[in-house]
Amino acid sequence: MSVFTIIGAGMMGSAMSFPLRDNGHEVRIVATPLDREIVERLKKDNYHANMKRTLPEGIAYFQIEDLPKAMAGTDFFIGGVSSFGVEWFADFILPQLPEKAVVLSITKGLKETDSGIPETFPEYLMRRDTTGTISFNAVGGPCTSYELADRNNTCVTFCGRDYETLRTLRSQLETAYYHISCSTDIRGVETAVAMKNVFAAAVSTAIGANELTVGVGGHEIYNPQAALFGESVREISRLLKVMGGDPDSIMLAAGDLYVTIFGGRTRKLGILLGRGHSYEKARKTLAGVTLESVAIAAAMSNSLRKLAANGKVDLEEFPLLLTLDAVIHHGAKLEIPWKKFTLDRP
């Protein structure tokens, strides 16, 4: 069996302990500076206060100052930070990783670049690795931490540059309920699973808009959600082309989009915007909630504008993305451009 050290005690990183422990691996979870209270509680009874689940027996827990001790003898590392922690990971954790370390990251997001083509997080970490020897890989959904912890059947994709490394990681983590595909299409996989966060908020605006009519808790309607879902898939498909990703990765986006719409912080943001709240008002309502979709929307929208300025993309092909970006980052009133979703195919 292997030794896995999970950096970050957030919900998804911690949920990875379930397939790992079910396969008999030694698991160590290290708190980031933001996870101290979570880990102190875990040390007492394995109960994860945010996920509201008891983690498997046999896990060793460490605060960040004990990182060297936690890393000793580690075979594989799991990056369990949020997208807002990726630079901290690059600045603080990366220099301490041993040469030829294998890292599997659950972090989803994109970084804006001067070139106009956003950078995926695995690519960003590869660039920051001064040794040039560390293997950076990532997990793409659809997967919620709660259901992975409940051992519900889950299909994910591991992506990275080296296929044999991906197969090794799969052999370490796959179980009867955790089903893993492998792909060297880093840009396709990472774009698909990052952008679903943005578009899940867009689809969820239809729920909030309906609540203005029937009231909170009233019956839901589905035609508007379905239309926004379809447009979301179409625009992500176009973004995959912009990023140079495999078109088949659209399946990951559709699956991850589906599961994200049904719950979580991104759904809450979309509902509030759909009710007519400004982004600032919604942000205050969701104070303390990590909104990765906001940063991702900005990175991709700004990138598209740079590409459009050079004649490389047509902004008219991304009406829903740019509408949401205008609401979040430019104070615009939410007005879904329904007519722009219609196409003629003579």
Largest Cα–Cα distance of the chain, in whole Å? Answer: 66
Strand 119-120 versus strand 26-30 pairing type: unpaired
Domain range summary for the chain, segments of one domain joined by +:
3-184, 187-341
pLDDT tens profile 63-109: 999 999 999 999 999 999 988 899 999 999 999 999 999 999 999 99
Distance CA 59, CA 53 (A): 14
Confidence band of 141 (pLDDT split at 50, 70, 90): confident
CATH superfamily of 187-341: N-(1-d-carboxylethyl)-l-norvaline Dehydrogenase; domain 2 (1.10.1040.10)
User: What is the number of other CB atoms lying within 10 angstroms of the CB of residue 145?
Assistant: 21
CA angle 212, 263, 225 (to 5 degrees): 50
CATH class of residue range 3-184:
alpha beta
Same fold for the pair 3-184 and 187-341: no
Alpha helices in 27-173 (DSSP H): 36-45, 67-71, 86-88, 121-128, 145-149, 163-173
List the one residue out of 35, 45, 44 whose CA is nearest residue 65: 35
pLDDT for 305: 96
Query: Token pair for residue 215?
Result: 């009231």
Is pLDDT of 290 > 90?
no
pLDDT for 279: 95
Query: Token pair for residue 10?
Result: 């957030």
SS3 content of the chain, % helix, strand, coil (to 5): 55, 15, 35
First to last CA, the chain: 59
For tokens 């003898």, the residue is: 73
Average pLDDT of the chain is: 95
Is pLDDT of 8 > 80?
yes
Would you say 20 and 13 are in contact if contact means Cβ atoms under 8 Å apart?
no
pLDDT tens profile 226-266: 999 999 999 999 999 999 999 999 999 999 999 999 977 89
CA–CA distances in Å: residue 168 to residues 14, 132, 151 = 21, 20, 21
Mean pLDDT of 322-331: 96
CA–CA distances in Å: residue 149 to residues 17, 19, 61, 310 = 8, 8, 18, 46
Question: Which letter does DSSP use for residue 136 in this model?
Answer: E
